[in-house]
Amino acid sequence: MYILRNYFMIAAVSLAAVSFSSCSKDDPVPEIDQEEYDGTILTFTEGHYHDDEFHAEGDTLQVRFIRGSDRPYPSHVHLHAGEQYQLDIAMFKNGQNTTAEFGENEHQWFFLGAPADVLDYTYTDNRVGFKGVFTVNKASEGFDLQLVLRHGLDKSQPAAQSWNSPNYREAGGSDDFNKSFELHPVDEGHDHE
């Protein structure tokens, strides 16, 4: 009887060891992508500030991107020199706005390609960029404005301190979005489409 009980104890301990070893800490847990999107809409609203409040006036323009396509619609946008434009960026999946799934501590938008002194940008959402304000300082030739949403970067790095940092990759992370459209800052009254 004593020997039989020892066999049962050895069998139980062996079974427990096998069970624990099959679920080790090193087994990867698949990450569920909460930040999925199939469309992106940029909305530029012309206006101005009174204290901390933005007042819309003038044009509202949208640029739309569909995931899987490099061509935005429209592909060419005019913004007027001397004006401010509130920029709102929205991400969509199956027609639902998923912007809130992009956490502010892990994400930051960068806007690259503008000639020097043509544009200024101010983040209005804790340096994320889903909301901000572009100021068009002067008219210029059209250029490709590159839009980069970086995920998992270290926002304390010097490369992440500026909205138009050409070295943004040095802050780490990876791109969730990297596309461009042609932006043409024009003088008031310019009507070329």
- Cα separation, 24 vs 30, in Å, equals 14
- Residue at 119 is within a domain: yes
**Total domain count, the chain:** 1
- Residue at 86 is within a domain: yes
- Residue at 27 is within a domain: no
**pTM of the predicted protein model:** 0.79
- In tens digits, the chain (193 residues) has pLDDT values of 444 444 444 444 444 444 444 444 455 444 434 467 899 999 999 998 887 788 899 889 999 999 888 789 999 999 999 999 999 999 999 999 999 999 999 999 999 999 999 999 999 999 999 999 999 999 999 999 999 999 999 999 999 999 999 999 999 999 999 999 999 999 976 655 4
CB atoms near residue 20 (< 10 Å): 9
- Residue at 93 is within a domain: yes
- Residue at 23 is within a domain: no
- Residue at 182 is within a domain: yes
> Where are the extended beta strands (E) located within the chain?
39-50, 53-66, 76-80, 84-93, 96-97, 107-112, 119-123, 131-136, 143-151, 174-186
Do 86 and 133 touch, CB atoms closer than 8 A? yes
Q: In terms of DSSP bridges, do strands 84-93 and 131-136 run parallel, antiparallel, or are they unpaired?
A: antiparallel
What are the structure tokens assigned to 8, written together? Answer: 């049962």
- Cα separation, 170 vs 184, in Å, equals 29
- Residue at 12 is within a domain: no
CATH number at residue 156: 2.60.40.1080
Domain ranges, residue 82: 39-186
- Residue at 10 is within a domain: no
